[in-house]
Amino acid sequence: MILTDSLLDFFLETRKASEAICEPLEIEDYVVQPVVDVSPPKWHLGHTTWFFEEFILKPHAKSYQEFDSDFSFVFNSYYETVGKRVVRSDRGNLSRPSVKKVYAYREYVTEGIKEFFGHAQTQELNDLLEIGIHHEKQHQELLLTDIKFILGNNPLLPVYSTKFADHPVETHQQDWVSMEEGIYEIGHDSNAFCYDNELGRHKVYLQPYEISNKLVTNGEFIKFIEAGAYQRFDLWHAEGWDWVNQQDVKAPLYWHQIDGAWWHYTATGLQKVNEAAPVTHISYFESFAYAQWKGMRLPTEFEWEAGQAFFPWGKRWEWTESAYLPYPNYQKADGALGEYNGKFMVNQKVLRGSSIATPSKHTRHTYRNFFHPQLRWQFTGLRLVK
């Protein structure tokens, strides 16, 4: 539980952080959607704002006047409970509302929240505000990776910012952490904030395993490429092999081979690949194939959680072998918030940890991220188990 005052600070600081991410953009960059999974930045700015308006201000703040009644249509994402919404693939077709108007909307709603929580509110409303803040933090990571995709997909390869170093190195020696067979407790275990999908702490029985204390590096991944692994069907899932061939995948996302050397698009523009940095922008399919090639495997999310205290993490979201499924006794929240997690629990893989793009105070060792196995635009990475 967070006191209202510090909660309000947390709110304001989060709102500013979203805008700081967009600071280097041209207005045009806010608008486009090159692929369906990548939303226009102005949509993220509007959608995170709409969440506060729709779930807090409109139902609870009596004197609040809605900013624009069309916005609940434009900025709803997947909340079927809350009426019609713009189809996800159409977000990049909307030039209006303008970026200027979206910022005005943000300011208006931020002021509304400030005023409303200037007075003490119920615990339930504080909880809603906290969810809204974490919802916006979650979108901050998408905002950054979507911006990277929008610019990295442009043939001009424009620089995003010279201040964001998306390829930090892990300098410690690679080693194996031995974990004993037995019962481990899994799931959230404090009063601090977490999502519903982390709740229902429960026992899991693990067989003995060894987990690497270091992420797989670019240099190691280049060996995999050079061994012809993208042409060897026996290393891949059947669906992974189809994906490799249909998309003509030959290297991680953003990589370009120029005169025999590997370069990649980064936040600071096109750079030579640093072999010491952990590999990123790889799919689950590629992570799995890499592990197969090494004669090892990926950890399950339980192995990761049980072992995580013994190695550093936080630079790359790490693919696990686990499918995204409900914990025993999982309880979906009521109403629209119940649409947050449960309805995605099929055909997705769990990722654990966090990445260079994760906002502060947003992750924890029980956090369960999830994506479809072919997606690569997040700062994903890979840790081996044997």
Cα first-last separation, the chain = 40
Residue of 253, 10, 235, 290 whose CA lies nearest to 131: 10
Residue of 38, 30, 75, 40 whose CA lies nearest to 55: 75
Stretch that binds a second copy, among 2-10, 58-66, 135-143, 340-348 (CB under 8 A): 340-348
CB of 9 to a second copy, least distance (A): 33
DSSP, collapsed to helix, strand or coil, labels residue 380 as: strand
- Per-residue mark of binding to a second copy, 117-156 (x: CB under 8 A): ---------------------------------xx-xxxx
**Which residue number, 65 or 207, has a Cβ lying nearer to a second copy?**
207
State yes or no: residue 90 binds a second copy (CB under 8 A).
yes
**Contacts with a second copy in 22-41 (CB under 8 A)?**
26-34
- How far apart (Å, rounded) are the C-alpha atoms in residues 155 and 335? 44
**Which residue number, 117 or 317, has a Cβ lying nearer to a second copy?**
317
The only residue of 120, 227, 239, 276 in contact with a second copy, by rule CB under 8 A: 239
- What single DSSP character describes residue 378? S
CB of 111 to a second copy, least distance (A): 23
CB of 97 to a second copy, least distance (A): 7
**Which residue number, 112 or 240, has a Cβ lying nearer to a second copy?**
240
> Residues with Cβ < 8 Å from 206, sequence gap 6 or more?
179, 181, 182, 183, 184, 302, 303, 306
Stretch that binds a second copy, among 6-14, 74-82, 107-115, 307-315 (CB under 8 A): 74-82
State yes or no: residue 284 binds a second copy (CB under 8 A).
yes
**Contacts with a second copy in 155-214 (CB under 8 A)?**
155-156, 158, 183, 202-207, 209
DSSP, collapsed to helix, strand or coil, labels residue 258 as: strand
Q: To 5 degrees, how large is the angle CA 21–CA 113–CA 53? A: 80
H-assigned helices in 117-260: 123-152, 218-226, 238-246
Query: How many Cα atoms sit within 13 Å of 140 on the Cβ side?
Result: 26
State yes or no: residue 98 binds a second copy (CB under 8 A).
yes
- How far apart (Å, rounded) are the C-alpha atoms in residues 184 and 206? 7
Binding site for a second copy (CB under 8 A): 26-34, 42, 70, 73-74, 78, 80-81, 86, 90, 92-99, 150-151, 153-156, 158, 183, 202-207, 209, 233-234, 236-241, 284-285, 288, 297, 321-323, 325-326, 328-329, 338-339, 343-347, 349, 373
